[in-house]
Structure 1
Amino acid sequence: MTQSKPNKPAPLKVSTAEKGPFNLLRPIQILAISLYFMFDTILHLLLTFQISTFLSISAFQSAWFARFWAFFGPLSAENAAPAVMPLLQNHARGVCLDIGPGSGQWLYLFQRANNPDITKIYGVEPNVGLHPALRESARKAGLENVYEVIGCGAEELQTKGGLQPGSIDTIITVQCLCSIPTPQKIIKELYPLLKSGGQWLVFEHIKTKYQGSFVGYWQKAINIVWPHMLGGCNTTRPTDEWLLKTGDWKKVNLYPGAGEGPYDTMPHVIGTLTKK
């Protein structure tokens, strides 16, 4: 069957150190790209006779986001790399839980040459449309015998995933807690899985600290449409505060994104939390 091969929009590159009012326009750019891929997905489904997908809003949104993220995921990773690479490379160890890995754009950082202490990685990705790309990323990183894809939600890891409390050495959440439907509940359910002395590696969107200024209101306005067009991603969650309150931490090393300030609609929290 013939598949659509539309022209791709021009790559979006925004420096992690970029400052100034024009940074406020970045979410508009991303929304425009997502809108492009909505029409791209409609055309693809029609040309490949996958008409049944239109009968389910969730199925269509899943297919839409999978096509959008296959294009935008690598660009997002390129922009985030200066912050994520030092966080992930050489820090993961033992049995790892990779939450919401998407298409696996960060798996190259877990190559055994850089992380010889990794024994197992569970990739928890509920969007089955991303599984083929995720498994291919694991293969390219030489992790096919280490990386296991689990196709359930993070809240089902003990019931469907078979993971036991205190069985995980490293939890990895990179740009995923912003899109999980019940993040506070998930954080509380992930915490018991972490061993004493285990680390939680974090790179997440968070609610801006500049509440009361224009960016605070702008972030809330953008968030009216953002979750519907970006796979459920929410820009206004105080994820750093939820993580700090979820349990006892022996060591906390969290910091903001480089150059982020009063013009950033999608600021980040980066760093590690070590369980007592």
Structure 2
Amino acid sequence: MAAKDLTTREWINALIEPGYLLVWALRYYVKVNLETVFCKGQILAPLLHQSRVRDEAFGKFWVAFSTYLQANAPASPPPTQPPDQIIRSSDLIPPLLARASGTVLDVGPGTGTQMPLLRSPAIKAIYGAEPCHGLHAELRASATSQGLEDKYNILPCGVESADLIPALQRQGLLKTDASDVPSILETLSTTREGVFDTIVCVRVLCSVPDMHRTVQDLYNLLRPGGKMLVVEHVVNPWRTPKGSVIARAFQAFYGFMGWSWYLGNCCMNRDTTSALKHAADQDGGWESAELESWFESTPMPYVAGILTKRG
């Protein structure tokens, strides 16, 4: 399938749109640094506590950006949409999240903009792993507004195993007496029991420190027959006919200008598709891997689809 063909004007807009996002995030970074120094009197914090300041700046930026997205989103996103009518990455999300069921891991939910798509009665419980504490209030409010306060559990951690595994233990989701993370991961890999029926990854694998390790660990957390629902932006496939050398150059330019620094460690140049496909090699591959590429001529090409673990 292919997305709606872009006109020349739409393509040019697609090239420069990430620049607007970068400037927006930069403004919040500068603002938070100034407030920290001149309002809070923490003169050395921008140097000695960079991680905390960046986390606060990104949190405030993402709340503002999410509010903007919600204000400009359709009143009720259609569950399915013909390929030639898909004009933005958000159009890829509803049909995928409609497939979520059972116990769900929501990876990096941010402020909960996808919350309206997780109200299916087929979902028993949702665990949102969100490391940015500045987003938790908005995330909790989103769950309440959608009537999911009894289903949605916020895990104050990243998706890296060193953070996630202890958080799952505290929730009583891991049935193991092992205390060290490597042993638990080895047990999960060997027994293939898993924890989750569905794992949702929407624009998050771009920012984890070790993507290949993270994807592998997420695979091990899937129960047999479990599904990984993915909508991720990836490196431009500029060596292929559908890719674009110009768009790839824009990705490199935005990276040079500090994209990762100001936007929560997000990387624009990751081969996420390959990492996802190879995550199941230890078990002979996925039962099915329905992944499609979208917007391949832009600096924000996407891969989206469903990967199902062998039963």
> TM-score surpassing 0.5?
yes
Specify the alignment match of 1:9 in structure 2: none
Task: Find 1:23's aligned residue among 10, 14, 28.
Answer: 14
Deviation of 1:236 after TM superposition, in Å, equals: 0.4
Q: Distance in 2 between matches of 1:226 and 1:16?
A: 27
Unaligned runs of 5+ in 1: 1-14
Deviation of 1:218 after TM superposition, in Å, equals: 2.4
Specify the alignment match of 2:180 in structure 1: none
Give the aligned residue type for 2:306. Answer: T
Specify the alignment match of 2:94 in structure 1: 85
1:58 aligns with 2:51: yes
Task: Find 1:231's aligned residue among 260, 264, 272.
Answer: 264
Q: Distance in 1 between matches of 2:138 and 2:40?
A: 22
Give the aligned residue type for 1:86. Answer: P
Structure in which a larger fraction of residues adopt helix: 2
Task: Find 1:245's aligned residue among 243, 256, 278.
Answer: 278
The Cα offsets for residues 122-166 of structure 1, whole Å up to 9 and x where unpaired, read as: 100111111111111111111111111111221232233224341
Q: Distance in 2 between matches of 1:39 and 1:126?
A: 22
Specify the alignment match of 1:261 in structure 2: 296
- Shift in CA distance, 75/252, structure 1 to aligned 2, threshold 3 Å: farther
1:160 aligns with 2:140: no
Q: Distance in 2 between matches of 1:123 and 1:50?
A: 34
Deviation of 1:16 after TM superposition, in Å, equals: 10
Q: Distance in 2 between matches of 1:57 and 1:16?
A: 42
Contact conserved, 2:89 with 2:302, CA < 8 A, in 1?
no
Task: Find 1:100's aligned residue among 99, 108, 125.
Answer: 108
Deviation of 1:214 after TM superposition, in Å, equals: 2.2
% same residue: 32
Deviation of 1:43 after TM superposition, in Å, equals: 4.8
Contact conserved, 1:102 with 1:134, CA < 8 A, in 2?
yes
Give the aligned residue type for 1:141. Answer: Q
Unaligned runs of 5+ in 2: 74-87, 175-187, 189-193
Contact conserved, 1:122 with 1:147, CA < 8 A, in 2?
yes
Contact conserved, 1:125 with 1:151, CA < 8 A, in 2?
yes
The Cα offsets for residues 234-271 of structure 1, whole Å up to 9 and x where unpaired, read as: 000011110000102111111123xx132x10111111
What secondary structure, in the 3-state scheme, does the structure 2 residue paired with 1:148 have?
Answer: strand
Give the aligned residue type for 1:251. Answer: S
Specify the alignment match of 2:198 in structure 1: 170
Give the aligned residue type for 2:296. Answer: G
Contact conserved, 1:152 with 1:161, CA < 8 A, in 2?
no
- Shift in CA distance, 196/17, structure 1 to aligned 2, threshold 3 Å: farther
The Cα offsets for residues 80-110 of structure 1, whole Å up to 9 and x where unpaired, read as: 432111211x211000000001111111111
Task: Find 1:142's aligned residue among 133, 143, 147.
Answer: 147
Q: Distance in 2 between matches of 1:87 and 1:45?
A: 41
Q: If you compute each CA radius of gyration, which structure gives the higher value, 1 or 2?
A: 2
- Shift in CA distance, 255/238, structure 1 to aligned 2, threshold 3 Å: same
Deviation of 1:49 after TM superposition, in Å, equals: 2.6
What secondary structure, in the 3-state scheme, does the structure 2 residue paired with 1:20 have?
Answer: helix
Aligned length: 255
Specify the alignment match of 1:193 in structure 2: 221
Contact conserved, 1:35 with 1:229, CA < 8 A, in 2?
yes
What secondary structure, in the 3-state scheme, does the structure 2 residue paired with 1:197 have?
Answer: strand
Task: Find 1:124's aligned residue among 118, 121, 129.
Answer: 129
Q: Distance in 1 between matches of 2:277 and 2:68?
A: 30
